[in-house]
């Protein structure tokens, strides 16, 4: 039974061309391609006109969708073309690897074992870190004088495709990998590969037992030698496979659009290539003798679109330089490195910024694949795609900005959809600053990422539509919660998403929790988001009367309980309360209720006059009352003098100063009375206290903007200052008549005409 093993590089263009040639020569009756067997049911879609790469198979644990893996495919991928060849000719094709279910179970077991080991880590001696293995191919690359094994492989196996030479190509790959494996060169994935290769051989044996007589296997080059002999290893493979963990995990698969960025290594979802756009070009034009000129022409057009002056002469000279570099390096064909260096030198004048544009737009190339509408999908995903289509929001990888006018029906619908996705932690849109200050404007930047499909599948348990899923998700996460701040945040999310069922539940819930909550800080945390959502009344179709009643109730309870909460706090807790007081103060400015605002100011006055309250809180309340013009500058100066008087503890004075000046030192620049009090207090501090308080003072002044710090530094050089209204110059010997005699001359010099 002929068995042909084709060792390839994943997503290698040269590998793909040679695979196609070998398949045409061999005419197999069975094709086996590296990949989990769970993909067998989904790869039949390859060849469908609406399935356009780059795409990926998403395989996930049905009970835990976050446990998932992706199998990316580009049009130039050897695996894609091998499956396409088989599907077009109705040749049976199967995937060849360890099942995902077993892999998921192994990772689950490893995670559980790590948890146990962490618990016992204190009783055990430190374990030495595992040895670091380099890429086995790097050994050949180093011998050839390359410090980059990927570049060496490209030059020798991907960029030098020769027609009718496929057998010699794969023989060379097999020989090289066999030598590496026989020399026991270690691989990073050795332990994992043992089980994987055993399962691959098992699948090959199964195909042979089904009387397929001309089998072709397309797999990663490293695995190729391990699959040559499937008969003598049968007993050992069976024993090994029986030792693998038993699992009841159910795996589902589906196609999702992928992007070139995700195909590239630097994206975090590496698939073995750094330049998918370049590989796309090679796949389409690589056999054209003038492919290098054509590539440089693409580069020139890109620069011209960006108003960069590029002529035909630039293209010709860049091509000549690339040819020269290729000859100097002893290469048989111009590569991307030579083209990039020629582009940077001739077209970019050495500028790396322009070359980065080429990398983004051509070498990687921003491309998003497409999938057929009739593919099996979870209901939530179908509803999402329907909403995206009706709202005219394209699922593109490129960032696109939208400025929404919520008075328009389409923009309001878009806003609701984006807010609902945010609730499900699918961050398709990033909110940005809108030029308008009104609540009827929103600005978003949208950029679709393929892994967001995984999040949709993960959240599908909450409902079949986006609205239902968000509603149930918010209600469930708030059902047993006693954290009033969390419930308030959920209300803040639900209002712009117009989830009326969830809003009604959450309002009842927050009222219930607030009524029994004894934690004033929780109430303070909840106030700001509640006040902010109450401002949507002009555009959102929400009855905000109930929210305003809750806001009134929250602020009243805060005002009643805050003075006692602030009594006897230590430094850390006082700073925590200080932050909450500032937030509540900002919220009260938005309430527009004179009675409640006055109640808040009365509470601040109580804190200002209450004994046992930390200095930072009293300093903060004094500043807030001054800014609101509830107390005068004269009263503030008296408070300032009292706080910095010699009878006070230095720590109290420093805290009071920090609370008063937090965020702005402008008042010290223009009010000489307060400055003099501060200057005198610092000057008279004993050395030991000054050293102790210096970090607090530095922290206080470090928050000022640079210009404020500079002006305060200039004032410190002068020392105490004199207010202009504090003195009047009186000189009985002043001669007004002589002084007036000077005025005509000054008028002449200054060009002034007196009437």
Gap between the Cα atoms of 447 and 356, Å rounded: 20
In a domain, 508, yes or no: no
Contact between residue 159 and residue 333 where contact means Cβ atoms under 8 Å apart: yes
Q: Considering the chain, what is the average pLDDT of its residues?
A: 85
**Residue 104 burial (C-beta neighbours within 10 Å; 0-12, 13-18, 19+):** buried
In a domain, 551, yes or no: no
Least confident piece of the model among 71-80, 429-438, 719-728: 719-728
Are 651 and 749 in the same domain?
Answer: yes
Residue 61: name the closest of 112, 16, 105, 11 by CA: 105
**Is the backbone of residue 96 left (phi > 0), alpha (psi -120 to 50) or beta?**
beta
Last residue of a domain, one of 364, 387, 404: 364
pLDDT at 601 over 80: yes
Q: What pLDDT was estimated at residue 170?
A: 94
In a domain, 121, yes or no: no
- Determine how β-strand 441-446 pairs with β-strand 400-405: antiparallel
Gap between the Cα atoms of 381 and 455, Å rounded: 10
Contacts of 714 (CB under 8 A, 6+ apart): none
pLDDT at 442 over 80: yes
Gap between the Cα atoms of 540 and 569, Å rounded: 42
Mean pLDDT across 626-646 = 82
In a domain, 706, yes or no: yes
Domain limits for position 390:
379-462
HSE of 651, CA atoms in CB hemisphere, 13 A: 6
pLDDT digits (tens, 9 = 90+) for 218-236: 999 999 999 998 989 999 9
Are 344 and 227 in the same domain?
Answer: no
Are 85 and 196 in the same domain?
Answer: yes
Contact between residue 469 and residue 442 where contact means Cβ atoms under 8 Å apart: no
Are 353 and 292 in the same domain?
Answer: yes
Structure tokens given for 220: 């990663």
Are 346 and 395 in the same domain?
Answer: no
In a domain, 660, yes or no: yes
**Residue 193 burial (C-beta neighbours within 10 Å; 0-12, 13-18, 19+):** middle
DSSP 8-state symbol, 57: E
The fraction of the chain above a pLDDT of 90, given in percent, is: 41
Contacts of 261 (CB under 8 A, 6+ apart): 267, 364, 366, 397
Structure tokens given for 729: 């110059």
Gap between the Cα atoms of 367 and 258, Å rounded: 8
pLDDT band of residue 748 (cuts 50, 70, 90) is confident
Question: Structural domain tally of the chain?
Answer: 4
HSE of 8, CA atoms in CB hemisphere, 13 A: 30
pLDDT at 685 over 60: yes
- Strands of the sheet with 429-432, listed across from one edge: 400-405, 441-446, 429-432
In a domain, 184, yes or no: yes
Task: Name which residue leads in pLDDT, 518 or 722.
Answer: 518
Contact between residue 535 and residue 590 where contact means Cβ atoms under 8 Å apart: yes
Are 657 and 696 in the same domain?
Answer: yes
pLDDT digits (tens, 9 = 90+) for 143-192: 888 888 888 888 888 887 788 889 999 999 999 999 988 887 776 556 77
pTM exceeds 0.75: no
Structure tokens given for 433: 């600053």
Are 22 and 153 in the same domain?
Answer: yes
- Strands of the sheet with 3-8, listed across from one edge: 3-8, 215-220, 30-34, 93-96
Q: What pLDDT was estimated at residue 119?
A: 55
pLDDT digits (tens, 9 = 90+) for 233-290: 999 999 999 999 999 999 999 998 888 888 875 444 444 578 899 999 999 988 888 9
Last residue of a domain, one of 462, 489, 523: 462
The C-alpha angle 478, 483, 486, rounded to 5 degrees, equals 65
pLDDT at 553 over 70: yes
Last residue of a domain, one of 444, 462, 480: 462
């Amino acid at each position: 039974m002929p068995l042909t093993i084709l060792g390839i590089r994943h997503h290698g263009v040269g590998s793909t061309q040679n695979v196609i040639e070998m398949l045409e020569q061999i005419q197999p009756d069975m094709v086996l391609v590296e990949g989990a067997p769970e993909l067998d049911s989904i790869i039949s879609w390859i060849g469908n006109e609406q399935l356009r790469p780059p795409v990926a198979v998403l395989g996930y644990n049905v009970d835990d969708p976050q446990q998932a893996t992706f199998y990316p495919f580009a049009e130039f991928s050897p695996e894609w073309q091998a499956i396409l060849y088989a599907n077009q000719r109705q040749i049976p094709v199967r995937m060849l690897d360890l099942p995902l279910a077993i892999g998921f179970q192994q990772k689950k077991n490893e995670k559980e074992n790590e948890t146990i080991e962490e618990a016992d880590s204190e009783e055990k001696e430190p374990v030495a870190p595992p040895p670091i293995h380099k890429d086995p191919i790097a050994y050949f690359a180093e011998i050839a004088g390359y410090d980059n094994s990927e570049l060496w492989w490209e030059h020798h196996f991907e960029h030098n495709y020769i027609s009718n030479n496929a057998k010699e190509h794969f023989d060379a790959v097999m020989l090289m990998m066999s030598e590496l494996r026989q020399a026991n060169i270690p691989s990073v994935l050795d332990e994992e590969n043992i089980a994987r290769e055993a399962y691959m051989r098992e699948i090959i044996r199964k195909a042979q037992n089904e009387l397929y007589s001309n089998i072709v296997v397309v797999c990663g080059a490293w695995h190729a030698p391990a699959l040559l002999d499937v008969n003598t290893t049968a007993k050992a493979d069976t024993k090994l496979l029986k030792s693998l963990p038993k699992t009841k995990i159910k795996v589902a698969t589906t196609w999702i659009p992928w992007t070139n960025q995700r195909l590239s290594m630097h994206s975090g979802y590496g698939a073995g290539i750094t330049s998918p756009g370049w590989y796309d070009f090679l796949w389409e034009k690589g056999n054209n003798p003038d492919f290098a000129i054509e590539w440089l022409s693409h580069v020139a057009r890109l620069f011209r679109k960006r108003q960069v002056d590029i002529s035909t002469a630039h293209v010709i000279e860049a091509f000549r330089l690339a040819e020269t570099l290729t000859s100097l390096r002893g290469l048989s064909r111009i590569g991307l490195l030579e083209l990039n260096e020629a582009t940077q030198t001739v077209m970019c004048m050495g500028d790396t910024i322009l070359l980065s544009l080429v990398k983004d737009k051509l070498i990687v190339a921003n491309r998003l694949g497409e999938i057929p509408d009739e593919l099996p999908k979870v209901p939530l995903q179908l509803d999402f795609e329907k909403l995206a289509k009706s709202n005219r929001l394209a699922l593109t990888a490129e960032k696109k900005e939208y400025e929404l006018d919520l008075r328009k029906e389409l923009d309001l619908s878009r806003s609701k959809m984006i807010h609902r996705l945010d609730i499900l932690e699918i961050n398709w849109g990033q909110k940005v600053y809108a030029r308008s200050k009104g609540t009827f404007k929103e600005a978003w930047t949208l950029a679709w990422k393929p892994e967001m499909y995984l999040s949709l599948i993960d959240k599908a348990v909450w409902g079949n539509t986006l609205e239902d899923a968000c509603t149930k998700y918010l209600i469930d996460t708030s059902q047993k919660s006693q954290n009033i701040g969390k419930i308030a945040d959920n209300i803040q999310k639900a209002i712009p998403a117009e989830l009326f069922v969830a809003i009604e539940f959450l309002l009842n819930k927050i009222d219930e929790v607030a009524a029994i909550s004894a934690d004033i800080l929780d109430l303070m945390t909840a106030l700001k988001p509640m006040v902010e959502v109450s401002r949507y009344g002009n555009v959102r179709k929400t009855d905000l009367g109930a929210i305003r009643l809750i806001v009134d109730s929250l602020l009243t309870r805060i005002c009643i309980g805050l003075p006692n909460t602030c009594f006897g706090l230590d430094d850390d807790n006082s700073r925590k309360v200080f932050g909450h007081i500032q937030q509540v103060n900002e919220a009260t400015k938005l309430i527009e209720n004179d009675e409640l605002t006055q109640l808040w100011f009365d509470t601040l006055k109580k804190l200002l006059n209450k004994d046992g309250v930390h200095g930072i809180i009293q300093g903060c309340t004094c500043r807030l009352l001054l800014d609101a013009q509830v107390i005068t500058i004269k009263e503030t100066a008296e408070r300032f003098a009292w706080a910095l008087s010699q009878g006070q503890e230095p720590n109290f004075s420093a805290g009071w100063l920090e609370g008063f000046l937090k965020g702005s030192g402008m008042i010290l620049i223009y009010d000489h009375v307060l400055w003099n009090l501060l200057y005198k207090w610092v000057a008279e501090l004993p050395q030991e206290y000054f050293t102790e308080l210096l970090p607090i003072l530095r922290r206080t002044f470090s928050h000022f903007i640079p210009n404020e710090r500079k002006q305060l530094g200039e004032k410190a050089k002068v020392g105490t200052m004199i207010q202009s209204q504090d003195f009047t110059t009186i000189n009985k010997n002043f001669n007004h008549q002589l002084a007036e005699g000077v005025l005509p001359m000054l008028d002449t010099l200054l060009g002034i005409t007196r009437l």
